[in-house]
Chain A
Amino acid sequence: MNQIKHVDNNDLKEKINFECETGNYHTFCPISCVAWLYQKIEDSFFLVIGTKTCGYFLQNALGVMIFAEPRYAMAELEEGDISAQLSDYEELKRLCLQVKRDRNPSVIFWIGTCTTEIIKMDLEGIAPKLEAEISLPIVVARANGLDYAFTQGEDTVLAALAQRPNAKQLEIPLEKAILTDNDYVEHVPLILFGSVPDPVVNQLTLELKKQGIRVSGWLPSKRYTELPLINEGNYVCGVNPYLSRTATTLMRRRKCKLIGAPFPIGPDGTRAWLEKICTVFNIEPKGLQQREDEIWEKLKYYVSLIDGKSVFFMGDNLLEISLARFLIRSGMIVFEIGIPYMDKRYQGAELQLLQKTCKEQNIPIPIIIEKPDNYNQVDRIRDMKPDLVITGMAHANPLEARGINTKWSVEFTFAQIHGFTNAIEVLELVTRPLRRNQKLEKIGSQRYTDRR
C-alpha cells in the first residue's frame, strides 16, 4: 500500500501554508454537473429535483445547450410538495414514467438539491422501490449547494455510480473496442475515474498503452450500460482533482486500491501521473522524459508570454492546485490559490508535486486559501496587482474594468485540458487575455471605471 503512505505525508503541513476564510465566494451550483454528464453518458437522463431557482440557474448558465433537446429536466417542487400534501413517491413516479415514455433512457439520475435536503425527501429510499416498479435504474446523487461547490457535483454522481453493483452481463472491455494489438504487461485491472470528453479518454488510454498498461474501464463510461466491472483488489486512479468522494467510495465500498497520483494536467502532471501508475505496476516508464520535453518545446511561444508573470486564483472549481502547479512550471508566479475545498489526502501527490515544482523553480510556495472570501480577495488583488486573475464570471468584467486581466475559470472545466496533447489548450486559455490585451494596448487607458 505504498500509494496510501505517499498521500499521508506528514511534513506537508509544515511546508504549505493552508488557510481557511469565510466561504463567501462565488461558484457554480454543483447541479451544473448535469451539463457535461448528460453529454458524457449518452443514454442517461438527469432529473434535478428542486425549485425554480435551480431551474433558472441551469437555464441561464447552460445557455444554448438547453435548446438542443437536452436529456435533463427539472422536477420543479411546488408548494404542495414542500408541505407534504403530495406524495413524493407518486409525484416522482409520474414524472419518471413520462421521461421513460418520451426519452427512453437506460438510467435516470436524480439530482438532489438544497430543497430536497431541507425537507428531508428520502430520495435514496424511494429510488430502489420506484426502480423496481418502472424497471429502469435510478441513481441518486445529492449535488446540493449546502455541501458542495461546482465540480464536486460530478463527484457526488460518480460516487453514486461507483456504488452500483457490477451488472454481470454488460462487460464490454474497452480495449476490444479501440485497441487492436496485445502488447500489454500482465497487471491487476486498472480503472480510471473522472468524466472527460471521449477524445481525452482515448488519448489517456493510449498514453498508458504505450507503457504497456491496459485500462480496463472508465467511470463513467460512454453509456450507462457499459459501466466497467469493478472488482475487489482492482486499482483505480483519478484524472480530476475534485473526485475525493468517488475515490473514497471505490476504496471503502468496492475495496479497490487507489493510486494517489498528481493529475494529468499539463505535460509535467501527465508525466507524473503516468510515472506513478507505472511505479505501482513495477513498470519502468519509457520515453516519458522525451515526450514531456517535446511538449514543452511546442509550448515555447505560450511560455514566453507568461514567463515571470503573476497569477491569482480566486478559486471555484477545485482544478486550482493542478493548474497552479502547471503554471508555476511554465514560469509564472502564483500569488494565491483559492480553492473551495481541499482534500489533502486525495490531492496529496498533487500537493507534493506543487512543492517540488516550487522548489525547482526556486519560488516560495503560494498560500492555499480554502473557502475563500471574495471581498477580501478583491482587496488583496488591488494590493498585489497580479498580471492575471483566474475567476468566475461575476468578477471578471468588474476586474477588467479596473485594468486587471482575467480569465474565466469555468472555461477550464469545459475545455479539454488533460494529457500531453491538450497541455496547449490550458496555455491557450491562460494567455488569451494577455494576447488580446497586447493587441488592444494602443487604445490607451486600461481602466474603464471612474470609481477608485
Chain B
Amino acid sequence: MKLAYWMYAGPAHIGTLRIASSFKNVHAIMHAPLGDDYFNVMRSMLERKRDFTAVTASVVDRHVLARGSQEKVVNNISRKDKEEKPDLVVLTPTCTSSILQEDLQNFVNRASIETQADVLLADVNHYRVNEMQAADRTLEQIVQFYIKKAQKTKQLDITKTIEPSVNIIGSFNLAFHNQHDIAELKRLMSDLNIKINSIIPEGASVQELKNLPKAWFNIVPYREIGLLTAEYLKDEFDIPFIDTTPMGVVETANCIRKIQYILNDNNADVNFEKYIDIQTRFVSQSAWFSRSIDCQNLTGKKAIVFGDSTHAAAMTKILTKEMGINVVWAGTYCKYDKSWFEKEVGDLCDEIVITDDHNLIGDLIAKVEPAVIFGTQMERHVAKRLNIPCGVISAPVHIQNFPLSYRPFLGYEGANQIADLIYNSFTLGMEDHLLEIFGGHDTKEVLSAGLSVTSEDSEIKWNLESQAELTKIPGFIRGKIKRNTEKFAQAQKMETITLEIMYAAKEAAA
C-alpha cells in the first residue's frame, strides 16, 4: 500500500478510453462498477465536448460479483452495436475487472459473432501500466487489428503516395494543448510541401487505418503515446518515423532536418535549410527575443522543470540552449522512460529527478528555491504556496489548460508561445520582488468609510455566535454581509446581532 494524495498519471483504463473515444465512431464499454465512468465528465467538461462521449459502462454490481457477468457484457456490447452502429467496440477492463478475472476475451469472441461492429478487448493490465502506457498500447492494438484485417481481406495497399506524405501519430483528447499542436504540425507540413496521409487517432475513422502504409514516414510528436504504433509500422512496412519533438526552435529545426533526410533518402531532393533559417530569424520571434536585451536579465536564473518526459525534456532544452537559463534540476514522472530522459537532458541540468511522488517534488522545490518553476498543475499549486512563479508545461492539467485561443507548444508558433510563457513567468517574479523591496503597491491607508462599517461609527454589537459565523463568511463578501446585517438590524431597531438576525437579514436581502 502507498499513501497517496495525488497522482501524475491516471489509471490504465483512462488511457484506453482516451484512444477509443478519440477515434470517430468507436465505442468503448467499460467493465466497471457504478461511478467509474468519470472519464465522460472529464471529456465533457475539460474539452467542452458537444457530443455525448462514446463510453458506457457494463456495470459491475453485487450480482456480477456473486454470479459473474454472464450475459451482461455480451448483451451490452450487442445493445451498443444496435443503438450506435459503431465500427468498433473496445471492451475496456478496469482495476475492478482485472481482479475479478472474468474471461473477457470470451465475451468479446461471443459478442463479435452477433455484432456488425468489430469487437476488441483492450490489452492492458491495471496494476502494471499507467494511463499513458495503456494509451500507447491500445493505439498500437487497434492499428494492428485493422492492418491485419486489411491484409486478410487483401485490401491493404502499401504503394506509397506520389507526393511525399506523412502520418501524424499522436492526436488525442484530454492531452496538453494537443489540438493546437496538431494544427501547427499541419501548417509545418504544408509549408514543407508534405501531404498529410493520416492523423490518428483523433477524428480518424478506423477504416482509414489500412491506408497508413501509404505514407512516406511517420511523426510521433509526443513519446508517451504513439511510439509503439510507429515501431510496429516500421517493423511491418519499413516506414521510418521521427520521434524528435519539434518544440523550441532548435528541436523544430532538428525535426525538419530529419524529415529532409528521410525525403532525400526517397529521392525527393529537398533542402529545407533556407526555410529553417527564415523561420528561425524572421517568422518566429523567439530566437531574436532571447537575444534581445530584456532576456539578458534572465541569464543564469534558477529554474526547475518537471512534467511528462516529452515536455520536460523539451522545456529543459529550450531554457538552457535557447535562453541561457540555469536548470537546477529537471525531472519526469514517466518512470518507465528514465533512460531516454537521462540521455536527453543529462548534460543540460545539474540533476535529474525521476519520481511520481509529488511530496518529494514539493520538498525538492522548497530546498532549491528556484526563481521559476515549469511543471504540471501540481507544481503550480506548490509554487503558489511557496510564492514562486510557475508556468504549466505538461499534463496533468485543469480546464485552464484547454484554452480557446490558439496556443500550440510545437513548431515555430509554439516557440513564440513558450517564449512568452517563460518571460511572463519571470517578469511576474521580478515585479513581485520589487514590490516587496519597496513595500507593496501603495503604503497609504485607505481612509474611505465606504468599504466597511467600522466599529466606531456603529453602535450595533455582535454577540459571540454571530461574530463566529461572520468569520466563516469568505473574506471578499464579509464586509458586504456585515454592512447589510447591521443595516437590517438598525432598521429593526435591534442593538445586538444574533444568529437569528443574521439569517433574517440574509432572507430579507434576497
Contacts and interface: CB of A to CB of B under 8 A. Distances in A.
Contact of A60 (B42, B53, B65): B42
A448 interface: yes
Contacts of B499: 178, 202, 206
A436 interface: no
A35 interface: no
Central interface residue in A74, A94, A424, by most chain B CB within 10 Å? A74
Contact of A56 (B14, B32, B49): B14
B430 interface: no
Contacts of A375: 56, 83
Contacts of A78: 1-2, 127
Given A59-B6, A73-B4, A53 B13 contact: yes
Interface string A26-65: 1111100000000000000000010111011101110100
B398 interface: yes
Interface stretch (B93-101, B317-325, B418-426): B93-101
Contact of B51 (A66, A118, A396, A398): A398
Interface in A334-380: 375, 378
Contacts of A76: 1-4
B127 A202 contact: no
Contact of A23 (B14, B59, B65): B59
Interface residues of B, number: 58
A147 B38 contact: no
A79 B61 CA distance: 23
B435 interface: no
A75 B41 CA distance: 24
A396 B44 contact: yes
A55 to B, nearest CB: 6
Given A82-B127, A394-B40, A394-B41, A56 B56 contact: no
A206 B5 CA distance: 38
A145 B30 CA distance: 14
Majority DSSP secondary structure for residues of A touching B: helix
Contact of B99 (A82, A91, A294): A82
Interface string B469-508: 1001000000000000000000000000001100100110
B510 A52 contact: no
A327 interface: no
B95 A115 contact: yes
Nearest to A302: B510
A393 interface: yes
Central interface residue in B1, B5, B507, by most chain A CB within 10 Å? B1
Interface in B330-385: 381, 384
A26 B49 contact: no
A420 B62 CA distance: 40
B444 to A, nearest CB: 33
Interface string A393-405: 1111110010000
B35 A66 contact: no
A73 B49 CA distance: 31
Contacts of A147: 61-62
Given A79-B127, A397-B48, A298 B41 contact: no
A366 to B, nearest CB: 24
A145 B32 CA distance: 9
A372 to B, nearest CB: 12
A401 B50 contact: yes
A252 B14 CA distance: 42
A198 to B, nearest CB: 7
Central interface residue in B32, B96, B469, B472, by most chain A CB within 10 Å? B96
Contact of B1 (A86, A203, A295): A86
Nearest to B9: A52
B268 interface: no
B130 to A, nearest CB: 8
A56 B398 contact: no
A394 B36 contact: no
B57 A395 contact: no
A376 to B, nearest CB: 10
Contacts of A269: none
A115 to B, nearest CB: 6
A371 B506 CA distance: 38
B126 A144 contact: no
B33 A146 contact: yes
A149 interface: yes
Given A52-B10, A118-B100, A178-B465, A395 B44 contact: yes
B34 A145 contact: yes
A421 interface: yes
Given A24-B57, A66-B5, A420 B507 contact: yes
Contacts of A63: 398
B381 A67 contact: yes
Contacts of A295: 507
Given A63-B398, A147-B61, A298 B44 contact: no
A449 interface: yes
Contacts of B1: 49, 75-78, 81, 86, 91-92, 94-95
Contacts of B99: 82, 115, 118-119
A451 interface: yes
A434 interface: no
Contact of B3 (A24, A95, A150, A298): A95
Central interface residue in A51, A78, A449, by most chain B CB within 10 Å? A51
A55 B510 CA distance: 39
A56 B7 contact: yes
A448 B398 CA distance: 24
A283 interface: no
Contacts of B61: 23, 146-147
B270 interface: no
A403 to B, nearest CB: 11
B270 to A, nearest CB: 39
A199 interface: yes
Interface in A65-116: 66-67, 70, 73-79, 81-82, 86, 91-92, 94-95, 98-99, 114-115
Interface in B95-134: 95-96, 99-100, 126-128, 130
Central interface residue in A60, A77, A115, by most chain B CB within 10 Å? A60
Contacts of B201: none
B41 A393 contact: yes
Interface string B21-35: 000000000001111
A356 B503 CA distance: 30
Contacts of A194: none
A228 interface: no
B345 to A, nearest CB: 27
B10 A144 contact: no
A117 interface: yes
A52 B65 contact: no
B35 A150 contact: yes
Interface in B276-329: none
A217 interface: no
A115 B34 contact: no
Central interface residue in A25, A53, A57, A78, by most chain B CB within 10 Å? A53
A150 B40 CA distance: 16
Interface in B27-80: 32-38, 40-42, 44-45, 48-53, 56-57, 59-62, 65
Contacts of B7: 52, 55-56, 59
5 contacts: A52-B95, A55-B6, A146-B62, A394-B37, A421-B503
List of 7 A-B pairs having minimum Cβ-Cβ separation, nearest first: A29-B35, A145-B33, A401-B50, A394-B40, A52-B11, A91-B1, A145-B35
Interface of A: 23-30, 49, 51-53, 55-57, 59-61, 63, 66-67, 70, 73-79, 81-82, 86, 91-92, 94-95, 98-99, 114-115, 117-119, 144-150, 178, 198-199, 202-203, 206, 294-295, 298, 375, 378, 392-398, 401, 420-421, 424, 448-449, 451
Given A98-B3, A401-B51, A424-B507, 18 more contacts: A28-B35, A52-B95, A52-B130, A56-B11, A66-B5, A73-B3, A74-B3, A77-B1, A78-B1, A78-B2, A114-B60, A114-B96, A115-B99, A202-B469, A294-B507, A295-B507, A392-B41, A398-B53
